[in-house]
Structure 1
């Protein structure tokens, strides 16, 4: 995983996520459709099945890219925070793919059979609990750990500020199941800012030629 490859994955993930999310909003009224009764959701899914399934596949693919992204970013610093960030980032990719994959692996069958109970169970467990709540927490944690490892020396205070604000707003999504007012908008805004941060991250990796400062080893520090 070179810096160039990591940058390419960051850009690809950001672009695919936004394209898929916008397309699903257009053809499926996603994510607002999830506030509707189950029979309305399944009816809308059936009416636009091919497009909805296809765009959820794209969205899941963009989420899956964060596993190799976590590995690539992990090579930028030997700091302890970055060593923790790698498995956290991979876990974030896994849970989000698990949550999104229900739309093309399970929901088509539930919609065809009119199995409302099974849909609601999958939506609650795979969607709300795993894909969203745990996904939000892990995504925010990965971002903050990366920021802690790279620090302002990576490219400046603006990079840290943008990442920290977006991660904090994304983390508010864990309160969404409690019906806290304003949480859904804050979470949405967080992901918008996070996409900008990902693109900025990629641009910095492509533009910055000198290596990221690394922490001295214990032996070097002792010798000094």
Structure 2
């Protein structure tokens, strides 16, 4: 077996599970108003579960499979951490396994137990006593497996795993610094989700956005693991995963750090064997938690987010066909760092007479700015973006009414023109409450250099 194979298997599994979780979460949000539905009364939840039927069960089953897949991904990732020489890999792996287990247990109740309870609750022959008994059973499992196990322990251990893993990736040259930034910040936001149970209402939108970004981060981590080509030769490491003190720089191999050759605490030809001091870890940890941006955009324009340019820069022109709602179902044209877009934009921000969430349609047109490119060797760089758009409603209570949609996010160019996006959009309009939504997207672009 080639040395790269475990890295590729790990990357493929993490990417697959991440995409599965993203897809199922978005479908549940669109059709079931998840996770806001969890804050409604028991009768309303059970009625919506009964209306969702088999498609709803399949979505929850997908969330469960994604969490179980993360368990196996964490086990494979442990091998990668050994090769990278991460000292506290056992702690990272343990936290990851517990996070996957707690989340799987939390989602699993929606696959079999809750649909059965919902069917009994909406049964026309069910008397008030039966409905009350069903409500008691649902609330018991909802409080234990939902709030206690899934939302409290699940968020706590998922956030702790992501945060420690982000710190571990920081000194490794196989991974860009921005990956540690995104992972650390989204993990910290996910941990804050446990404060919702303590009465802090603001934790709800924070954890919804942070957990979504963290799943995207796991997917991106899988993509970078697929690209690892020179893992450490285990024969060159001692039992403690430290390079032999008598070995020369040429004997250490291409993926181990030579301290005598370079005192730079971050970069060398390879840094798999780099073990930071406690002071270094502390300073980086504080920096990772409280800083808001990984690099200065001006520097990124000339060198890129990863330092010296390693591939082609932004194409002079780009024509994009977007198939999902980021920025819209429509077309986009970019010249250098500025682009214009227009198309159909669906989102859930309205309710019907029965109080059920429904999709509201808009026409969206606006301008985007692209920055902090992450250069690839053979294709268009991935990058961050900000945009401002005018939206005009086509139906519901937004018909013929307009608003300003501000958005920030990241676009990942996967292969040739195929790209994925994830952003956070804020919709404002005079006389209306501010709406905040995650904005996933997928599209294909044609680049002209």
TM-score (norm 1): 0.91
Aligned pair in 2 of structure 1 residues 212, 15: CA closer, same or farther (>3 Å)? farther
1:125 to 144, 152, 156: 144
Match of 2:197 in 1: 177
Conserved in 2, the CA contact under 8 Å of 1:163 and 1:194? yes
Match status 1:194 vs 2:201 = no
Aligned-pair CA distance for 1:117: 0.5
Whether the 8 Å CA contact 2:22–2:216 is kept in 1: the answer is no
The 5-angstrom pairing of residues 45-124 of structure 1 reads: 45-78=49-82, 79-114=86-121, 115-124=134-143
Superposition RMSD on alpha carbons, in Å? 2.1
Deviation at 1:211, TM superposition (A): 2.0
Structure 1: distance between partners of 2:205 and 2:227: 33
Q: CA deviation at 1:149?
A: 3.0
Report SS of the residue matched to 2:226: helix
* Matched-pair contact (CA < 8 Å) for 2:170–2:180: yes
Q: Quick check: 147-156 or 3-12, which moved more?
A: 147-156
Tell me, in whole angstroms, the C-alpha distance in 1 between the residues paired with 2:199 and 2:56.
26
Equivalents in 1 of 2:146, 2:228: separation in Å? 38
Structure with the bigger RCO (C-alpha within 8 Å, sep 6+) is 1
Q: 2:363 maps to which residue? A: none
Unaligned 5+ residue runs, structure 2? 122-133, 248-449
Q: 2:13 aligns with which of 9, 22, 47?
A: 9
Distance 1:195 1:104, change over 3 A: closer
CA distance in structure 2 between the aligned counterparts of 1:109 and 1:68, rounded to whole angstroms? 29
**How far off its partner does 1:102 sit?**
0.6
Return the offset for 1:185: 1.1
Q: TM-score, normalised by structure 2?
A: 0.47
2:43 to 39, 46, 58: 39
- Deviation, structure 1 residue 143: 1.3
Mapped contact 2:103–2:154 kept (Cα < 8 A): yes
Question: Which stretch of the first structure deviates more once superposed, 145-154 or 69-78?
Answer: 145-154
1:69, 1:183 → 2: CA distance?
28
Which structure is higher in strand share?
A: 2
Cα distance 1:108–1:181, how it changes in 2: closer, same or farther (>3 A)? closer
Kindly indicate which of the two structures has a greater share of residues assigned to helix. Answer: 1
